[in-house]
Amino acid sequence: HDGRDLAAALQTIREIGDPEALQRAISDAFPGARLNIEPLQGGRFAIEFYQEGLLRPLSAAELSDGTLRYLLLVAALLTPRPPTMMVLNEPETSLHPDLLPALARLIIQVSQQCQVWVVSHASRLIAALQQDEGCNSIVLEKVMGQTQVVGQRVLDEPAWHWPS
């Protein structure tokens, strides 16, 4: 939940997952960048993030919140043992808007092996996801304080009601 095992999760992807997909996700979001996981004593790992134009790699402590959050999303989405369904609640939080198309491409890729639900207010992320023909988009709106599904008619509503 706090990302302290991020380096180990990324190393697991490199060892038993899809290391090429991991590098593609990094390169797609950060052109010219690459990720290295350095083993430390005691079976721990450290992130080394190489970015074009920098003379040395950045450690996890030096990365921006958005870069770290993107790496956390990559680790979750590329897990070697994906669940049958993943729900991403506002994955755009703390991400630079330029990262959203890369995140959408990664979500679309992962959705081939696992059902992925994305709850988002980011129009750029939503538009990028909707470009995939397999995307089923449900749009909600507030009408007089009540959340409604856009385009849903009275006969489309479920037969059940929330108890009072």
pLDDT in tens, 1-44: 677 899 999 999 999 999 999 999 999 999 999 999 999 999 89
Q: Give the pLDDT band (50/70/90) at residue 104.
A: very high
Residue 121 lies in a domain: yes
- Spatial CA neighbour of 95 closest among 79, 73, 119, 127: 73
For residue 77, what is the domain's CATH number? 3.40.50.300
Residue 1 lies in a domain: no
Residue 158 lies in a domain: no
Domain that holds residue 66: 6-152
Residue 111 lies in a domain: yes
Split into its structural domains, the chain has a count of 1
pLDDT in tens, 131-152: 999 999 999 999 999 888 898 8
Residue 84 lies in a domain: yes
pLDDT exceeds cutoff 80 at 56: yes
pTM (predicted TM-score): 0.89
Q: Give the pLDDT band (50/70/90) at residue 155.
A: confident
Residue 133 lies in a domain: yes
Residue 160 lies in a domain: no
